[in-house]
Amino acid sequence: MSPAGCPHVNGFKVDNWKQNLRVIYQCFVWSGSAETRKRKAKSCICHMCGAHLNRLHSCLYCVFFACFAKKHIHEHAKSKRHNLAIDLLYGGIYCFMCQDYIYDKDMEQIAKEEQRKAWKMQGNTVLYRYTCVCVCIGEKYSTWEPTKRELELLRHNPKRRRITSNCTIGLRGLINLGNTCFMNCIVQALTHTPLLRDFFLSDRHKCEMQSNSCLVCEMSQLFQEFYSGHRSPHIPFRLLHLVWTHARHLAGYEQQDAHEFLIAALDVLHRHCKDDNGKKANNPNHCNCIIDQIFTGGLQSDVTCQVCHGVSTTIDPFWDISLDLPGSSTPFWPLSPGGDGSALNGESHTTGATTLTDCLRRFTRPEHLGSSAKIKCSGCHSYQESTKQLTMKKLPIVACFHLKRFEHSAKLRRKITTYVSFPLELDMTPFMASSKESRMNGQYQQTVDPFNNDNKYSLFAVVNHQGTLESGHYTTFIRQHKDQWFKCDDAIITKASIKDVLDSEGYLLFYHKQFLEYE
Protein backbone atom coordinates (compact mmCIF):
# COMPACT_ATOMS: atom_id res chain seq x y z
CA MET A 1 0.00 0.00 0.00
CA SER A 2 1.34 3.45 -0.88
CA PRO A 3 2.24 6.00 1.85
CA ALA A 4 -0.76 8.07 0.74
CA GLY A 5 -3.07 5.37 2.07
CA CYS A 6 -5.72 3.20 0.46
CA PRO A 7 -7.37 4.84 -2.56
CA HIS A 8 -10.39 2.50 -2.37
CA VAL A 9 -11.77 3.81 0.95
CA ASN A 10 -13.53 6.76 -0.69
CA GLY A 11 -16.01 4.38 -2.30
CA PHE A 12 -17.24 3.46 1.17
CA LYS A 13 -17.36 7.00 2.55
CA VAL A 14 -20.78 8.01 1.29
CA ASP A 15 -24.03 9.07 2.98
CA ASN A 16 -24.10 7.89 6.64
CA TRP A 17 -20.90 5.84 6.49
CA LYS A 18 -19.68 7.01 9.91
CA GLN A 19 -22.85 5.92 11.67
CA ASN A 20 -22.90 2.61 9.78
CA LEU A 21 -19.29 1.91 10.77
CA ARG A 22 -20.04 2.73 14.41
CA VAL A 23 -22.95 0.27 14.43
CA ILE A 24 -20.70 -2.48 13.02
CA TYR A 25 -18.07 -1.83 15.72
CA GLN A 26 -20.69 -1.72 18.46
CA CYS A 27 -22.58 -4.87 17.42
CA PHE A 28 -19.98 -7.14 15.88
CA VAL A 29 -16.48 -6.13 17.03
CA TRP A 30 -16.16 -4.60 20.51
CA SER A 31 -19.61 -5.63 21.85
CA GLY A 32 -19.66 -3.64 25.07
CA SER A 33 -22.94 -4.84 26.60
CA ALA A 34 -23.93 -8.38 27.50
CA GLU A 35 -26.81 -8.21 25.00
CA THR A 36 -24.57 -7.31 22.06
CA ARG A 37 -22.08 -10.02 23.05
CA LYS A 38 -24.87 -12.62 22.96
CA ARG A 39 -26.03 -11.29 19.60
CA LYS A 40 -22.50 -11.46 18.23
CA ALA A 41 -22.06 -15.04 19.44
CA LYS A 42 -25.30 -16.12 17.72
CA SER A 43 -25.07 -14.19 14.45
CA CYS A 44 -21.35 -14.01 13.69
CA ILE A 45 -20.83 -17.25 11.78
CA CYS A 46 -19.53 -17.80 8.28
CA HIS A 47 -22.47 -17.56 5.86
CA MET A 48 -20.77 -20.11 3.60
CA CYS A 49 -19.53 -22.88 5.93
CA GLY A 50 -21.16 -22.04 9.27
CA ALA A 51 -17.83 -21.83 11.17
CA HIS A 52 -17.36 -19.49 14.15
CA LEU A 53 -13.56 -19.33 13.86
CA ASN A 54 -11.14 -19.08 10.90
CA ARG A 55 -10.69 -15.31 11.30
CA LEU A 56 -14.22 -14.11 10.62
CA HIS A 57 -14.55 -10.88 8.63
CA SER A 58 -17.62 -8.84 7.84
CA CYS A 59 -18.19 -7.06 4.54
CA LEU A 60 -18.56 -3.33 5.21
CA TYR A 61 -21.10 -2.87 2.43
CA CYS A 62 -23.67 -5.59 3.18
CA VAL A 63 -22.67 -7.04 6.58
CA PHE A 64 -21.89 -10.47 5.16
CA PHE A 65 -19.89 -12.72 7.52
CA ALA A 66 -17.32 -15.11 6.07
CA CYS A 67 -14.02 -16.86 6.85
CA PHE A 68 -10.76 -15.18 5.97
CA ALA A 69 -8.65 -18.34 6.43
CA LYS A 70 -10.76 -20.34 3.95
CA LYS A 71 -11.02 -17.29 1.64
CA HIS A 72 -14.83 -17.28 1.75
CA ILE A 73 -14.79 -13.53 2.35
CA HIS A 74 -12.47 -13.18 -0.66
CA GLU A 75 -15.01 -14.99 -2.85
CA HIS A 76 -17.76 -12.67 -1.64
CA ALA A 77 -15.65 -9.58 -2.30
CA LYS A 78 -14.85 -10.76 -5.83
CA SER A 79 -18.43 -11.66 -6.75
CA LYS A 80 -20.05 -8.54 -5.22
CA ARG A 81 -17.12 -6.15 -5.86
CA HIS A 82 -17.23 -5.13 -2.21
CA ASN A 83 -13.61 -4.22 -1.58
CA LEU A 84 -13.57 -3.62 2.19
CA ALA A 85 -14.10 -5.99 5.12
CA ILE A 86 -13.55 -5.71 8.87
CA ASP A 87 -11.84 -8.27 11.15
CA LEU A 88 -14.41 -9.14 13.85
CA LEU A 89 -11.73 -9.97 16.47
CA TYR A 90 -9.31 -7.05 16.20
CA GLY A 91 -11.29 -4.45 14.25
CA GLY A 92 -8.74 -4.04 11.45
CA ILE A 93 -10.06 -3.11 7.98
CA TYR A 94 -8.88 -5.15 4.99
CA CYS A 95 -8.86 -3.94 1.39
CA PHE A 96 -9.10 -6.74 -1.19
CA MET A 97 -7.79 -4.46 -3.95
CA CYS A 98 -4.66 -3.53 -1.94
CA GLN A 99 -4.52 -7.08 -0.47
CA ASP A 100 -3.57 -5.63 2.91
CA TYR A 101 -4.99 -4.19 6.12
CA ILE A 102 -5.27 -0.45 5.72
CA TYR A 103 -5.01 2.63 7.89
CA ASP A 104 -7.48 5.48 7.56
CA LYS A 105 -7.39 8.32 10.08
CA ASP A 106 -11.18 8.82 10.22
CA MET A 107 -11.93 5.11 10.54
CA GLU A 108 -9.22 4.68 13.18
CA GLN A 109 -10.73 7.48 15.27
CA ILE A 110 -14.17 5.82 15.18
CA ALA A 111 -12.63 2.47 16.15
CA LYS A 112 -10.85 3.98 19.17
CA GLU A 113 -13.95 5.81 20.37
CA GLU A 114 -16.13 2.70 20.17
CA GLN A 115 -13.45 0.56 21.83
CA ARG A 116 -13.24 2.96 24.81
CA LYS A 117 -17.04 2.91 25.16
CA ALA A 118 -17.03 -0.89 25.20
CA TRP A 119 -14.26 -1.00 27.82
CA LYS A 120 -16.20 1.32 30.11
CA MET A 121 -19.36 -0.77 29.72
CA GLN A 122 -17.52 -4.00 30.49
CA GLY A 123 -15.82 -2.63 33.62
CA ASN A 124 -14.02 -5.50 35.32
CA THR A 125 -14.91 -8.13 32.70
CA VAL A 126 -11.91 -10.20 31.70
CA LEU A 127 -11.16 -9.53 28.03
CA TYR A 128 -8.08 -11.66 27.58
CA ARG A 129 -5.70 -13.92 29.46
CA TYR A 130 -2.01 -13.22 29.61
CA THR A 131 0.26 -16.10 30.59
CA CYS A 132 -2.53 -17.78 32.54
CA VAL A 133 -3.09 -14.61 34.62
CA CYS A 134 -6.43 -12.83 34.24
CA VAL A 135 -5.96 -9.24 33.10
CA CYS A 136 -8.89 -6.88 33.42
CA ILE A 137 -9.07 -4.19 30.79
CA GLY A 138 -10.37 -0.79 31.78
CA GLU A 139 -9.84 2.83 30.91
CA LYS A 140 -6.33 2.87 32.39
CA TYR A 141 -5.18 0.22 29.88
CA SER A 142 -6.25 2.16 26.80
CA THR A 143 -3.78 2.77 24.02
CA TRP A 144 -1.08 5.31 24.86
CA GLU A 145 -1.29 8.56 22.94
CA PRO A 146 1.30 11.31 23.42
CA THR A 147 0.23 14.50 25.13
CA LYS A 148 1.12 17.92 23.78
CA ARG A 149 3.97 18.12 26.27
CA GLU A 150 5.31 14.72 25.17
CA LEU A 151 5.05 15.68 21.50
CA GLU A 152 7.02 18.83 22.26
CA LEU A 153 9.74 16.82 24.00
CA LEU A 154 9.93 14.40 21.07
CA ARG A 155 10.35 17.28 18.61
CA HIS A 156 13.13 18.84 20.67
CA ASN A 157 14.90 15.50 21.13
CA PRO A 158 14.94 13.89 17.68
CA LYS A 159 17.91 11.62 18.42
CA ARG A 160 16.93 8.04 19.14
CA ARG A 161 19.08 5.56 21.03
CA ARG A 162 19.73 2.63 18.72
CA ILE A 163 19.75 -0.82 20.31
CA THR A 164 22.52 -2.69 18.51
CA SER A 165 23.88 -6.19 19.06
CA ASN A 166 26.76 -4.83 21.16
CA CYS A 167 24.70 -2.20 23.01
CA THR A 168 25.44 -2.03 26.74
CA ILE A 169 22.42 -0.03 27.85
CA GLY A 170 21.01 -1.56 31.05
CA LEU A 171 24.46 -2.63 32.25
CA ARG A 172 25.49 -0.69 35.32
CA GLY A 173 27.56 -1.57 38.35
CA LEU A 174 26.41 -1.15 41.96
CA ILE A 175 28.56 0.21 44.76
CA ASN A 176 29.00 -2.16 47.69
CA LEU A 177 27.82 -0.27 50.79
CA GLY A 178 29.41 -2.69 53.23
CA ASN A 179 28.73 -6.41 52.76
CA THR A 180 25.80 -5.61 50.44
CA CYS A 181 26.83 -7.88 47.57
CA PHE A 182 23.86 -10.10 48.56
CA MET A 183 21.57 -7.21 47.59
CA ASN A 184 23.50 -6.11 44.51
CA CYS A 185 23.37 -9.56 42.89
CA ILE A 186 19.57 -9.78 43.27
CA VAL A 187 19.10 -6.23 41.96
CA GLN A 188 21.06 -7.18 38.83
CA ALA A 189 18.83 -10.23 38.28
CA LEU A 190 15.60 -8.24 38.80
CA THR A 191 16.62 -5.32 36.58
CA HIS A 192 17.30 -7.77 33.75
CA THR A 193 13.97 -9.59 34.10
CA PRO A 194 12.30 -8.65 30.77
CA LEU A 195 8.67 -8.21 31.85
CA LEU A 196 9.61 -6.45 35.08
CA ARG A 197 11.79 -4.07 33.07
CA ASP A 198 8.95 -3.39 30.61
CA PHE A 199 6.54 -2.73 33.49
CA PHE A 200 8.71 -0.15 35.22
CA LEU A 201 10.02 1.57 32.08
CA SER A 202 6.44 2.12 30.86
CA ASP A 203 5.43 3.92 34.10
CA ARG A 204 2.78 1.35 35.01
CA HIS A 205 3.18 1.77 38.78
CA LYS A 206 0.56 4.10 40.29
CA CYS A 207 1.65 4.73 43.86
CA GLU A 208 -0.86 5.29 46.65
CA MET A 209 1.74 5.30 49.44
CA GLN A 210 4.20 7.93 50.50
CA SER A 211 6.80 7.78 47.74
CA ASN A 212 9.69 7.93 50.20
CA SER A 213 8.52 4.69 51.86
CA CYS A 214 7.41 2.72 48.79
CA LEU A 215 9.85 0.07 47.59
CA VAL A 216 8.06 -0.17 44.22
CA CYS A 217 8.70 3.54 43.62
CA GLU A 218 12.37 3.02 44.45
CA MET A 219 12.57 0.06 42.07
CA SER A 220 10.98 2.21 39.38
CA GLN A 221 13.66 4.84 39.95
CA LEU A 222 16.32 2.12 39.91
CA PHE A 223 15.19 0.93 36.48
CA GLN A 224 15.37 4.52 35.22
CA GLU A 225 18.94 4.75 36.52
CA PHE A 226 19.96 1.43 34.96
CA TYR A 227 18.54 2.20 31.52
CA SER A 228 19.48 5.87 31.39
CA GLY A 229 22.73 5.14 29.58
CA HIS A 230 24.96 6.30 32.46
CA ARG A 231 28.08 4.15 32.85
CA SER A 232 29.22 5.16 36.32
CA PRO A 233 28.31 2.73 39.15
CA HIS A 234 25.04 3.46 40.92
CA ILE A 235 24.90 3.88 44.71
CA PRO A 236 21.75 2.08 45.97
CA PHE A 237 21.61 3.72 49.40
CA ARG A 238 17.85 4.50 49.25
CA LEU A 239 17.08 0.91 48.30
CA LEU A 240 19.17 -0.38 51.21
CA HIS A 241 17.42 2.00 53.62
CA LEU A 242 13.95 0.82 52.47
CA VAL A 243 14.97 -2.83 52.77
CA TRP A 244 16.18 -2.22 56.31
CA THR A 245 12.90 -0.41 57.07
CA HIS A 246 10.52 -3.03 55.68
CA ALA A 247 12.57 -6.22 56.26
CA ARG A 248 14.20 -5.59 59.64
CA HIS A 249 15.77 -9.05 59.83
CA LEU A 250 18.09 -7.93 56.99
CA ALA A 251 19.12 -4.67 58.71
CA GLY A 252 22.77 -4.17 59.60
CA TYR A 253 26.10 -4.57 57.86
CA GLU A 254 26.54 -8.31 58.36
CA GLN A 255 26.65 -10.52 55.28
CA GLN A 256 23.15 -11.79 54.45
CA ASP A 257 21.83 -14.60 52.28
CA ALA A 258 20.98 -13.60 48.69
CA HIS A 259 18.07 -16.06 48.54
CA GLU A 260 16.61 -14.65 51.75
CA PHE A 261 16.94 -11.14 50.33
CA LEU A 262 15.19 -12.17 47.09
CA ILE A 263 12.16 -13.54 48.96
CA ALA A 264 12.04 -10.52 51.29
CA ALA A 265 12.27 -8.09 48.34
CA LEU A 266 9.51 -9.87 46.40
CA ASP A 267 7.35 -9.91 49.53
CA VAL A 268 7.74 -6.17 50.17
CA LEU A 269 7.22 -5.33 46.49
CA HIS A 270 4.13 -7.54 46.48
CA ARG A 271 2.73 -5.80 49.60
CA HIS A 272 3.43 -2.34 48.20
CA CYS A 273 1.73 -3.07 44.88
CA LYS A 274 -1.95 -2.38 44.43
CA ASP A 275 -4.36 -4.72 42.70
CA ASP A 276 -6.94 -3.60 40.17
CA ASN A 277 -9.48 -2.75 42.88
CA GLY A 278 -7.10 -0.41 44.68
CA LYS A 279 -6.80 -2.74 47.69
CA LYS A 280 -3.56 -4.01 49.13
CA ALA A 281 -2.56 -7.22 47.39
CA ASN A 282 -1.85 -9.29 50.49
CA ASN A 283 -3.34 -12.58 49.29
CA PRO A 284 -0.97 -14.42 46.92
CA ASN A 285 -3.89 -16.54 45.67
CA HIS A 286 -5.94 -13.57 44.48
CA CYS A 287 -3.52 -10.89 43.38
CA ASN A 288 -2.92 -9.30 40.03
CA CYS A 289 0.15 -7.27 40.98
CA ILE A 290 3.14 -7.39 38.65
CA ILE A 291 5.18 -9.51 41.09
CA ASP A 292 2.55 -12.25 41.20
CA GLN A 293 1.97 -12.08 37.45
CA ILE A 294 5.66 -12.76 36.81
CA PHE A 295 6.97 -14.85 39.71
CA THR A 296 4.02 -16.76 41.22
CA GLY A 297 3.40 -20.37 40.29
CA GLY A 298 1.17 -23.08 41.74
CA LEU A 299 2.64 -26.13 43.50
CA GLN A 300 0.34 -29.16 43.70
CA SER A 301 0.68 -31.54 46.63
CA ASP A 302 -0.99 -34.95 46.30
CA VAL A 303 -1.19 -37.08 49.46
CA THR A 304 -2.29 -40.68 48.65
CA CYS A 305 -3.62 -43.08 51.27
CA GLN A 306 -1.83 -46.44 51.11
CA VAL A 307 -4.99 -48.34 52.08
CA CYS A 308 -7.84 -46.91 50.00
CA HIS A 309 -5.65 -44.97 47.53
CA GLY A 310 -7.72 -41.85 48.06
CA VAL A 311 -5.93 -38.66 47.04
CA SER A 312 -6.02 -35.35 48.91
CA THR A 313 -4.83 -32.45 46.75
CA THR A 314 -3.80 -28.93 47.75
CA ILE A 315 -2.32 -26.17 45.58
CA ASP A 316 -0.05 -23.55 47.13
CA PRO A 317 1.55 -20.48 45.53
CA PHE A 318 5.34 -20.26 45.27
CA TRP A 319 7.92 -17.69 44.20
CA ASP A 320 10.85 -20.07 44.01
CA ILE A 321 11.71 -23.76 44.26
CA SER A 322 14.38 -24.89 46.75
CA LEU A 323 16.22 -28.03 45.64
CA ASP A 324 18.27 -30.44 47.77
CA LEU A 325 21.77 -31.34 46.58
CA PRO A 326 23.91 -34.48 46.85
CA GLY A 327 26.29 -34.14 49.76
CA SER A 328 23.68 -32.76 52.14
CA SER A 329 22.54 -34.60 55.24
CA THR A 330 19.20 -35.19 53.46
CA PRO A 331 19.35 -38.56 51.66
CA PHE A 332 19.57 -37.90 47.93
CA TRP A 333 17.68 -40.06 45.48
CA PRO A 334 20.18 -42.30 43.62
CA LEU A 335 20.06 -41.43 39.94
CA SER A 336 21.57 -43.12 36.93
CA PRO A 337 23.13 -40.72 34.39
CA GLY A 338 21.77 -40.50 30.88
CA GLY A 339 18.52 -42.43 30.97
CA ASP A 340 16.30 -40.09 32.98
CA GLY A 341 15.28 -37.35 30.61
CA SER A 342 18.34 -35.17 31.26
CA ALA A 343 19.11 -35.19 27.55
CA LEU A 344 15.70 -33.65 26.99
CA ASN A 345 16.92 -30.49 28.69
CA GLY A 346 20.30 -30.48 26.97
CA GLU A 347 22.38 -31.02 30.11
CA SER A 348 25.80 -32.55 29.71
CA HIS A 349 25.89 -35.58 32.01
CA THR A 350 29.54 -36.03 32.88
CA THR A 351 30.48 -39.05 34.99
CA GLY A 352 28.98 -38.67 38.44
CA ALA A 353 27.73 -35.12 37.78
CA THR A 354 24.33 -34.05 39.06
CA THR A 355 22.03 -32.05 36.79
CA LEU A 356 19.24 -29.59 37.48
CA THR A 357 16.87 -32.16 36.00
CA ASP A 358 18.08 -34.68 38.59
CA CYS A 359 17.25 -32.24 41.37
CA LEU A 360 13.81 -31.55 39.91
CA ARG A 361 13.16 -35.28 39.56
CA ARG A 362 13.99 -35.75 43.22
CA PHE A 363 11.78 -32.78 44.16
CA THR A 364 8.77 -34.22 42.30
CA ARG A 365 9.23 -37.91 43.16
CA PRO A 366 6.64 -39.72 45.35
CA GLU A 367 7.79 -39.79 48.98
CA HIS A 368 6.61 -42.36 51.53
CA LEU A 369 5.74 -40.47 54.74
CA GLY A 370 6.19 -43.50 56.99
CA SER A 371 4.44 -44.74 60.11
CA SER A 372 5.57 -41.77 62.20
CA ALA A 373 3.68 -39.32 59.96
CA LYS A 374 0.27 -40.94 59.53
CA ILE A 375 -2.59 -38.75 58.31
CA LYS A 376 -6.31 -39.06 58.87
CA CYS A 377 -7.70 -40.30 55.57
CA SER A 378 -11.08 -38.82 54.57
CA GLY A 379 -11.92 -42.10 52.83
CA CYS A 380 -10.90 -44.57 55.56
CA HIS A 381 -11.81 -42.16 58.41
CA SER A 382 -8.72 -43.37 60.28
CA TYR A 383 -5.02 -42.59 60.49
CA GLN A 384 -3.11 -44.34 57.69
CA GLU A 385 0.32 -44.28 56.10
CA SER A 386 0.52 -42.28 52.89
CA THR A 387 2.76 -41.02 50.09
CA LYS A 388 3.23 -37.41 49.11
CA GLN A 389 4.14 -36.04 45.69
CA LEU A 390 4.78 -32.47 44.58
CA THR A 391 4.20 -31.34 40.98
CA MET A 392 3.77 -28.03 39.15
CA LYS A 393 0.13 -27.12 38.66
CA LYS A 394 0.86 -23.68 37.20
CA LEU A 395 4.21 -22.45 35.96
CA PRO A 396 5.32 -18.85 36.57
CA ILE A 397 6.69 -16.63 33.82
CA VAL A 398 10.00 -16.49 35.69
CA ALA A 399 11.06 -19.70 37.41
CA CYS A 400 13.68 -19.27 40.13
CA PHE A 401 15.52 -22.35 41.40
CA HIS A 402 17.35 -22.16 44.72
CA LEU A 403 20.10 -24.76 45.10
CA LYS A 404 20.34 -25.40 48.85
CA ARG A 405 24.09 -24.96 49.29
CA PHE A 406 23.98 -23.71 52.89
CA GLU A 407 23.19 -26.37 55.46
CA HIS A 408 22.23 -25.37 58.98
CA SER A 409 21.45 -28.09 61.51
CA ALA A 410 22.13 -28.91 65.15
CA LYS A 411 25.32 -30.73 64.19
CA LEU A 412 26.40 -29.04 60.94
CA ARG A 413 26.89 -25.54 59.57
CA ARG A 414 28.56 -25.80 56.20
CA LYS A 415 28.44 -24.96 52.49
CA ILE A 416 27.77 -27.74 49.94
CA THR A 417 29.98 -27.24 46.87
CA THR A 418 28.54 -30.08 44.74
CA TYR A 419 28.67 -29.14 41.05
CA VAL A 420 25.23 -29.06 39.42
CA SER A 421 24.98 -28.92 35.65
CA PHE A 422 22.18 -26.61 34.48
CA PRO A 423 21.02 -25.98 30.87
CA LEU A 424 20.51 -22.80 28.86
CA GLU A 425 17.06 -24.08 27.92
CA LEU A 426 14.80 -26.03 30.27
CA ASP A 427 11.62 -27.97 29.55
CA MET A 428 9.40 -28.21 32.64
CA THR A 429 6.81 -30.53 31.05
CA PRO A 430 7.99 -33.69 32.92
CA PHE A 431 7.42 -31.96 36.26
CA MET A 432 3.87 -30.77 35.56
CA ALA A 433 0.85 -32.23 37.36
CA SER A 434 -0.56 -33.05 33.92
CA SER A 435 2.48 -35.31 33.29
CA LYS A 436 2.02 -37.24 36.52
CA GLU A 437 0.37 -40.17 34.76
CA SER A 438 3.56 -40.71 32.73
CA ARG A 439 5.58 -41.42 35.89
CA MET A 440 6.11 -45.06 36.73
CA ASN A 441 8.24 -45.99 39.71
CA GLY A 442 10.05 -42.68 39.65
CA GLN A 443 11.00 -42.95 35.95
CA TYR A 444 9.55 -40.63 33.32
CA GLN A 445 8.01 -42.13 30.21
CA GLN A 446 8.15 -38.76 28.49
CA THR A 447 7.79 -38.38 24.75
CA VAL A 448 9.69 -35.47 23.20
CA ASP A 449 7.44 -33.07 21.33
CA PRO A 450 9.61 -30.46 19.56
CA PHE A 451 6.53 -28.38 18.68
CA ASN A 452 5.20 -28.07 22.23
CA ASN A 453 6.80 -24.90 23.61
CA ASP A 454 4.31 -24.13 26.38
CA ASN A 455 6.60 -25.13 29.26
CA LYS A 456 10.02 -24.23 27.86
CA TYR A 457 12.29 -21.73 29.60
CA SER A 458 15.53 -19.86 28.84
CA LEU A 459 18.22 -19.03 31.38
CA PHE A 460 18.77 -15.29 31.86
CA ALA A 461 20.51 -14.88 35.24
CA VAL A 462 22.70 -16.94 37.59
CA VAL A 463 23.67 -15.87 41.11
CA ASN A 464 26.88 -17.45 42.46
CA HIS A 465 28.49 -17.57 45.89
CA GLN A 466 32.24 -17.82 46.28
CA GLY A 467 33.89 -18.63 49.58
CA THR A 468 32.78 -20.30 52.77
CA LEU A 469 29.71 -20.07 54.97
CA GLU A 470 31.44 -17.58 57.28
CA SER A 471 33.18 -15.51 54.59
CA GLY A 472 31.94 -15.27 51.02
CA HIS A 473 30.99 -13.04 48.12
CA TYR A 474 28.05 -12.97 45.68
CA THR A 475 28.25 -12.26 41.93
CA THR A 476 25.73 -12.52 39.11
CA PHE A 477 25.84 -13.57 35.48
CA ILE A 478 23.13 -11.80 33.46
CA ARG A 479 22.10 -12.21 29.84
CA GLN A 480 22.09 -9.10 27.66
CA HIS A 481 20.38 -9.64 24.29
CA LYS A 482 20.20 -13.23 23.09
CA ASP A 483 23.64 -14.75 23.59
CA GLN A 484 25.66 -12.02 25.32
CA TRP A 485 26.48 -12.65 28.96
CA PHE A 486 28.09 -10.33 31.52
CA LYS A 487 29.43 -10.90 35.00
CA CYS A 488 28.28 -8.36 37.59
CA ASP A 489 30.66 -8.13 40.55
CA ASP A 490 29.35 -5.13 42.52
CA ALA A 491 30.71 -2.06 40.68
CA ILE A 492 32.64 -4.08 38.07
CA ILE A 493 30.94 -5.54 34.98
CA THR A 494 32.91 -7.72 32.56
CA LYS A 495 32.04 -9.72 29.44
CA ALA A 496 31.52 -13.45 30.07
CA SER A 497 31.20 -16.49 27.84
CA ILE A 498 28.40 -19.05 27.91
CA LYS A 499 31.01 -21.55 29.14
CA ASP A 500 31.80 -19.27 32.09
CA VAL A 501 28.11 -19.26 32.99
CA LEU A 502 27.49 -22.99 32.65
CA ASP A 503 30.73 -23.92 34.47
CA SER A 504 29.84 -21.76 37.47
CA GLU A 505 28.73 -23.32 40.73
CA GLY A 506 25.21 -21.88 40.69
CA TYR A 507 23.18 -20.80 43.74
CA LEU A 508 20.10 -19.08 42.26
CA LEU A 509 19.04 -19.87 38.69
CA PHE A 510 16.56 -17.59 36.90
CA TYR A 511 14.67 -18.92 33.87
CA HIS A 512 12.18 -17.00 31.72
CA LYS A 513 9.34 -18.58 29.75
CA GLN A 514 10.17 -18.68 26.05
CA PHE A 515 6.60 -18.19 24.85
CA LEU A 516 3.91 -16.07 26.49
CA GLU A 517 0.26 -16.83 25.84
CA TYR A 518 -2.03 -14.23 24.34
CA GLU A 519 -5.61 -14.59 23.21
Q: Which residues are catalytic?
A: 181, 473
In order of 7, 18, 79, 140, 363, the CA distances from 26 in angstroms are: 26, 12, 27, 21, 52
Give the neighbor-by-neighbor strand order of the sheet with 311-318: 311-318, 297-305, 386-394, 367-368
Amino acid making up residue 26: Q
Which residues are CB-contacts of 196 (< 8 A; sequence separation ≥ 6)? 190, 290, 294
- CA nearest 400: which of 330, 318, 472? 318
Write out the H or E segment, with its range, that includes residue 80.
helix 72-80
Query: Residue ranges of the alpha helices (H) in 192-330?
Result: 194-201, 215-226, 237-246, 258-272, 290-295
Q: What's the CA angle centered on 52, arms 46 and 56, to 5 degrees?
A: 60
Q: Looking at this protein, which amino acid is placed at residue 361?
A: R
Q: At what angle do helices 215-226 and 258-272 cross, to 10 degrees?
A: 110
321-323 and 398-403 as β-strands: parallel, antiparallel, unpaired? Answer: parallel
Instruction: Give the Cα separation of 171 and 192 in Å (integer).
Output: 9
